[in-house]
Structure 1
Amino acid sequence: MACALLFCLFLLLALEVPFLGNCFGPMSRLRYSRFLDPSNVVFLRWDFDLKAEFITFELQVRTAGWVGLGVTNRYTRAGSDLVVGGVLSDGNVYFSDQHLVDEDTLREDGSQDAELHGLTEGAVYTTMRFSRPFRSCDPHDQDITGDTVRVMAAYGLDDTLKLDRNRIFVKSIFLLQVVHPDDLEVPEDTIIHDLEITDFLIPEDDTTYACTFLPLPIVSKKHHIYKFEPKLVNHNETMVHHILVYACGNASALPTGISDCYGADPAFSLCSQVIVGWAVGGTSYQFPDDVGISIGTPLDPQWIRLEVHYSNFHNLPGVYDSSGIRVYYTSHLRKYDMGVLQLGFFTFPIHFIPPGAESFMSYGLCKTEKFEEMNGAPVPDIQVYGYLLHTHLAGRALQAVQYRNGTQLQTICKDDSYDFNLQETRDLPARVAIKPGDELLVECHYQTLDREALTFGGPSTINEMCLIFLFYYPRNNISSCMGYPDIIYVAQELGEEVSDSMEGMMAMNNVEWTPESIKKAERACKEARQTVIIKTIDEVVENTTGWIPDIIPTPRGPCLESSGGKVEPQDKTPAGFKAAPVALSGSSTVSLRRLPLVAHLLVQGILSWLLAMLRTGG
């Protein structure tokens, strides 16, 4: 009888224990971290579960007052969400999911979608750890997506919950990094090699593209480059806009010295197959464990073109620079040789963006049907595993979309919150196969409300670009595949009489740009026939033509219903909602959610009876 009662006791205790939750516990290691302010007072750690669609944050601030963390947008703090908390002088903790009704006023959400895991105040720091769904059903909560996220942190010097603009910080972060560098192999025989421009006197011009040709590491057998990182001089870091490394075909006759990449000597623009690239805001990047850049075989490039783009907007004189790219390579070979395919709008002045545009879309088409002919050998499926997005200051969003036999397959990559100051190589959550014959479309979204003159495509930071670099394997000889519209058609649609492309470009200056003419120009650019330019590593160029297909937007998935507070019917979005999951993979802690009160009382009553029976031996 005692054994049976014990079994019942353990069964009921199991019912009483909270079920596994959907976030990281108060002591779990969070893999990612970043300072959010220039003085290193505000420190953020975070981690996430892609399958469960939950993210956990830990904010540590050098203060004895309240702290807050949330998500904001590019243009205004109004509408931002902010989870706030602190510890009162009597030791009691306060914690709340709030939002900004204007730039300075906080209000508590009707639905409390953040779950507290710990809040402590020590001699130096206040630390708050909490979790929240990527997307709740509360319209006051900003979504956590695979896009760039503008993370906002705020704090006070005491427990008076009042915003001070001097203690509010916003930083763009790519939160959902699917691969962490610590999860990747580091070969024991790693060798480091620097590709750099040495002691280069930066011109006093706004924009300079400096190029030089350098040999890759000389090795007696095949090696793989598996990692790269920028090599920047501290005082020049803000002047370096991007650095690209282009592989040269082994038949190329290359110049010596340093010169303007796109100036009077066309030889300095040779070699157009990007193999690695860095841009503003980026850090180091390590390839997945099964891919690398092959060096040391007769088929591999022996020389590269190093391109460093300087933006000397203050026209500073006498500044010398030795920036470049540091590569890490190994004799421990990976399974695949990787390549980079450049997509987008061909960079030259046919690419135009009207002034005063709230929104303007540009398109660059790639057709892969000629890849095999130009490659000189069969082209296996291109397996894309990573990407780098690139526009200049007017860029707001980019995406690359894949089509097969006229049907849209999927969005390969996108960022609807693109930030010029955060350009880094990113991994895809799942690899994407591109088959011969597929079409690839790049769409770039621009805003030029602050501009009074046309913006043209070009190399300067005040010009524009629309580029996406796809990192893939196995390598082939195709370096780029980019498109541009028939500018004659566009000009004629805008009421300008032109007979050639030069006249078409010049005619854009004659247009009176209004919201109506801006939309008309955008529509004409999309409807115009596209010329597609395909280029190989050996500078072989082929043209084809095509038409821009429509893009079917990817619907947002369902939101996660709040585990606390109230969700109003109007908050349940058209995409639907679902209850927060009971148990999720990779969980390491328990949730605070428990059985209803009636169930608690019933369980406690049965437990009391069982314990009494055990004591009496009944």
Structure 2
Amino acid sequence: MHCNILQMRGSCADCHIIIIIIKLFITLHKEEKNSLQAKAANSSHSSSRPLRFSAYLDAMQQVHLQWDHDSKEMITFELQVQSTGWVAFGFTTHGELPGGDVVIGGVLPDGNMYFSDWHIVDEETIVEDESQDYEVLSMTEDETSTTITFRRYFQTCDPHDQPITFPIPDDDTTYACTFIPLPRVKTKHHIYKFEAVITPRNQTMVHHILVYACSNASVLPTGVSDCYGADPDFALCSQIVVGWAVGGGSYMFPDETGISIGTPRDFQWIRLEVHYSNFDLIPGLIDNSGIRLYYTPELRPYDMGVLQTGLFTFPIHFLPPGVESFNSYGLCNTSQFEELNGIPVPDMHVFGYLLHTHLAGRGVRGVHYRDGKQLRILCEDNKYDFNLQETRGLKELVTFKAGDEFLVECRYETLDRTSLTFGGPSTLNEMCLAFLFYYPRNNISSCMGYPNIQYVAQELGQTAADAMEGMMAINLVDWNNDTAKKAEKACKEVDQIVIIKTIDEVVVNETGFIRDIIETQPLPCKRIFENEPTAETEGQGKFLADVMSSGALDMKATLPLPVLLFVHFGFPWLLTVMPRML
């Protein structure tokens, strides 16, 4: 379902719908204009607060829509069109005119206005609805534009009105994508914060939300469709701007950087990708989730970017079944960044990251190398939780130079699985990714590696002439702990193919190999009571020892020691629950 401006005055000279509409309004609405004007004058917004959501509906940004909704499922629209006379706004299914749900309104030369609810029968016929379910709230016109504010319920009782919903398909995995223009600003601004807005009843369904920057030269489709389905255009745009996954919260960028919008170099459109996981195949779920971006004219010193790294997801990634631990690796070799970028790449100052696997993931870490030597383990989560994926800031900036390498290692457990798990989009598939937030930005969008699968298949006793045969051969392996360890070793020791991609979808291949990871020494443990006691704690300890030794508090046989300590140190709120615990 998508908003579609069906027509603006003077923009389609040979459109039959235009002729019909003009004739109808000349004859019909002269008779009704006074009652409509009075109705609009007596109406007011359902709320005095500003409408929270907005978007331009055309590439020229001449049609601006704002909207908001309330707890009663009433949605209010404000449509501003750079045109005078009359305007039409409607909803269609997959962009097809028949069945379209339309409102048409405008201001007559004498200052009176008209507004009405219609539906499209076919390419040449438009009919006014018997049930008028849109209410006009206000309408104004100046020398260049027309603004109409109106409202309706999400679902009306008129079969000619399109329901305003996005139903989550009753499939276990859905990737829904749409393309949205960013707000047009006259001067440079910085996006400084983002947060997910999840429909409350769908928290368990929304797996992740990603926002991709689209090159201004891209030819983008309209509507909502499967991101990686039959229409490849819905997979356009690969430069990630921001991302959210299960368990994440809002994230504010450091004061020195933000995402630039408003300059000729900046992207003007984004691809919004929402991944739904409807494992129980529940029908009829309606979702309005998305991501809210905050931007400001108060500029930061640097423009930031996001680099996607890790293991190329499909089709090479695989996990053996029934193993307690299996490691996968994806390498980024930056040696060709400058050539691919077109201009020298300045040092990349990494300030944050987001780690991502699916349900089998148990640990993720990213390791930074320079001149063949390990510099640091940049990010690490050895207790990875699928339900707690959040963007995290580094304690201090880490500098990447051209030629550096970045290795992502993911550890999995598949004890509950009896068949191979492959990399892919479903939550039941797997991924191994690390998104690096850095500044100043460059044109590189992703840098990911994968092992030579033919070599891996051969090491497992199979034959394969190419990558496709290699993946087919993996299915023939008799998997057990020994073959799993052999596969892990082969994936680690074989050369990696590294795929580097720019925001303009330019791709180059590089090679590299997985270097050893030098484990960092854990910090020494500390016991709090081994520190030098203060006079106060020393006195407390002596008091307790004196009481215990004198027998004045001989309750060890009836009360556990923790209760004794709570009583002594005075936690009255704990005393109220102690009887239930004993």
- TM band (smaller chain): 0.5 to 0.7
Alpha-carbon contact 1:494-1:521 (below 8 Å) kept? yes
Query: Aligned residue for 1:323?
Result: 289
Query: Aligned residue for 2:97?
Result: none
Aligned-pair CA distance for 1:547: 0.7
Which whole-Å deviations, capped at 9, do the CAs of 1:369-419 have from their partners, x for residues lacking one? 111111111111110111101000000000110111110010111100000
SS at 2:204 equivalent: helix
Find the aligned partners of 1:385 and 1:251 in 2 and give their Cα distance: 30
Which whole-Å deviations, capped at 9, do the CAs of 1:412-469 have from their partners, x for residues lacking one? 1110000000001011111100011101100000000000000000000000000000
Moved segments of 4+, more than 2 Å: 191-199, 580-583, 590-597
Find the aligned partners of 1:420 and 1:507 in 2 and give their Cα distance: 30
SS at 2:183 equivalent: coil
Query: Aligned residue for 1:174?
Result: none
Query: Aligned residue for 2:525?
Result: 559
Which whole-Å deviations, capped at 9, do the CAs of 1:136-170 have from their partners, x for residues lacking one? xxxxxxxxxxxxxxxxxxxxxxxxxxxxxxxxxxx
Which whole-Å deviations, capped at 9, do the CAs of 1:183-211 have from their partners, x for residues lacking one? xxxxxxxx976689972221111000000
Find the aligned partners of 1:262 and 1:292 in 2 and give their Cα distance: 30
Alpha-carbon contact 1:192-1:327 (below 8 Å) kept? no
Q: In 2 relative to 1, CA 279–516 (structure 1 residues): closer, same or farther, beyond 3 Å?
A: same
Q: In 2 relative to 1, CA 320–561 (structure 1 residues): closer, same or farther, beyond 3 Å?
A: closer
Q: How does 1:45-60 map to 2 (within 5 A)?
A: none
Task: Choose the corresponding residue for 1:414, options 364, 371, 380.
Answer: 380
Q: In 2 relative to 1, CA 591–233 (structure 1 residues): closer, same or farther, beyond 3 Å?
A: farther
Letter aligned with residue 513 of structure 1: W
Letter aligned with residue 260 of structure 1: D
Find the aligned partners of 1:595 and 1:319 in 2 and give their Cα distance: 60
SS at 1:559 equivalent: coil
Q: How does 1:152-163 map to 2 (within 5 A)?
A: none
Find the aligned partners of 2:288 and 2:265 in 1 and give their Cα distance: 30
Query: Aligned residue for 1:56?
Result: none
SS at 1:592 equivalent: helix
Query: Aligned residue for 1:233?
Result: 199
Query: Aligned residue for 1:296?
Result: 262
Q: Does 1:503 align with 2:448?
A: no
Find the aligned partners of 1:368 and 1:594 in 2 and give their Cα distance: 61
Query: Aligned residue for 1:539?
Result: 505
Q: How does 1:305-320 map to 2 (within 5 A)?
A: 305-320=271-286
Query: Aligned residue for 2:176?
Result: 210
Letter aligned with residue 537 of structure 2: L
Q: In 2 relative to 1, CA 593–445 (structure 1 residues): closer, same or farther, beyond 3 Å?
A: farther
Instruction: Pick the structure with greater CA Rg.
Output: 2
Query: Aligned residue for 1:471?
Result: 437
Q: In 2 relative to 1, CA 593–532 (structure 1 residues): closer, same or farther, beyond 3 Å?
A: farther
Which whole-Å deviations, capped at 9, do the CAs of 1:581-604 have from their partners, x for residues lacking one? 899xxxxxx97357998xxxxxxx
Query: Aligned residue for 1:525?
Result: 491
Task: Choose the corresponding residue for 2:187, options 221, 246, 258.
Answer: 221
Query: Aligned residue for 1:371?
Result: 337
Aligned-pair CA distance for 1:241: 0.4
Which whole-Å deviations, capped at 9, do the CAs of 1:287-333 have from their partners, x for residues lacking one? 11111110000011000000000001111112221111011111111
Q: Does 1:362 align with 2:363?
A: no
Alpha-carbon contact 1:194-1:326 (below 8 Å) kept? no
SS at 2:337 equivalent: helix
Alpha-carbon contact 1:192-1:328 (below 8 Å) kept? no
Find the aligned partners of 1:192 and 1:301 in 2 and give their Cα distance: 23
Find the aligned partners of 1:456 and 1:582 in 2 and give their Cα distance: 56
Q: How does 1:434-473 map to 2 (within 5 A)?
A: 434-473=400-439
SS at 2:340 equivalent: helix
Find the aligned partners of 1:371 and 1:264 in 2 and give their Cα distance: 32
Find the aligned partners of 1:192 and 1:399 in 2 and give their Cα distance: 38
SS at 2:486 equivalent: helix
Task: Choose the corresponding residue for 2:537, options 592, 606, 609.
Answer: 592
Which whole-Å deviations, capped at 9, do the CAs of 1:532-567 have from their partners, x for residues lacking one? 000001100010111111101111022214416xxx
Q: Does 1:258 align with 2:224?
A: yes
SS at 2:473 equivalent: helix
Alpha-carbon contact 1:192-1:326 (below 8 Å) kept? no
Find the aligned partners of 1:265 and 1:312 in 2 and give their Cα distance: 23
Find the aligned partners of 1:594 and 1:422 in 2 and give their Cα distance: 43
Find the aligned partners of 1:430 and 1:289 in 2 and give their Cα distance: 14
Q: How does 1:319-398 map to 2 (within 5 A)?
A: 319-398=285-364
Q: How many residues align?
A: 387
Letter aligned with residue 448 of structure 1: T
Letter aligned with residue 446 of structure 2: S
Q: In 2 relative to 1, CA 237–277 (structure 1 residues): closer, same or farther, beyond 3 Å?
A: same
Query: Aligned residue for 1:95?
Result: none
Q: Does 1:281 align with 2:226?
A: no
Q: Does 1:490 align with 2:456?
A: yes
Find the aligned partners of 1:557 and 1:581 in 2 and give their Cα distance: 20
Percent identity for Structure 1 against Structure 2:
67
- The one of the two structures with greater contact order (alpha-carbon pairs below 8 A, sep at least 6) is 1
Alpha-carbon contact 1:289-1:334 (below 8 Å) kept? yes
Q: Does 1:405 align with 2:350?
A: no
Alpha-carbon contact 1:341-1:470 (below 8 Å) kept? yes
Instruction: Give TM-score scaled by structure 1 length.
Output: 0.61
Alpha-carbon contact 1:205-1:312 (below 8 Å) kept? yes
Find the aligned partners of 1:468 and 1:212 in 2 and give their Cα distance: 24
Q: Which 5+ residue runs of structure 2 have no aligned equivalent?
A: 1-50, 56-66, 69-163, 543-582
Find the aligned partners of 1:425 and 1:443 in 2 and give their Cα distance: 18
SS at 1:533 equivalent: strand
Q: Does 1:272 align with 2:249?
A: no
- Name the stretch that deviates more: 437-446 or 555-564: 555-564
SS at 1:506 equivalent: helix
Query: Aligned residue for 2:99?
Result: none
Q: In 2 relative to 1, CA 513–596 (structure 1 residues): closer, same or farther, beyond 3 Å?
A: closer
Letter aligned with residue 498 of structure 2: V
Q: Which 5+ residue runs of structure 1 have no aligned equivalent?
A: 1-190, 565-579, 584-589, 598-618
Instruction: Give TM-score scaled by structure 2 length.
Output: 0.64
Alpha-carbon contact 1:193-1:217 (below 8 Å) kept? no
Q: In 2 relative to 1, CA 469–257 (structure 1 residues): closer, same or farther, beyond 3 Å?
A: same
Q: In 2 relative to 1, CA 192–408 (structure 1 residues): closer, same or farther, beyond 3 Å?
A: farther
Find the aligned partners of 1:415 and 1:315 in 2 and give their Cα distance: 32
RMSD: 2.2
Q: In 2 relative to 1, CA 428–591 (structure 1 residues): closer, same or farther, beyond 3 Å?
A: farther
Find the aligned partners of 2:532 and 2:234 in 1 and give their Cα distance: 57
Query: Aligned residue for 1:187?
Result: none
SS at 1:563 equivalent: helix
SS at 1:373 equivalent: helix
Letter aligned with residue 270 of structure 2: I
Find the aligned partners of 2:536 and 2:463 in 1 and give their Cα distance: 69
Find the aligned partners of 1:282 and 1:264 in 2 and give their Cα distance: 31
Letter aligned with residue 412 of structure 1: L
Q: In 2 relative to 1, CA 591–487 (structure 1 residues): closer, same or farther, beyond 3 Å?
A: farther
Letter aligned with residue 379 of structure 2: C
Find the aligned partners of 2:541 and 2:206 in 1 and give their Cα distance: 59
Q: In 2 relative to 1, CA 334–487 (structure 1 residues): closer, same or farther, beyond 3 Å?
A: same
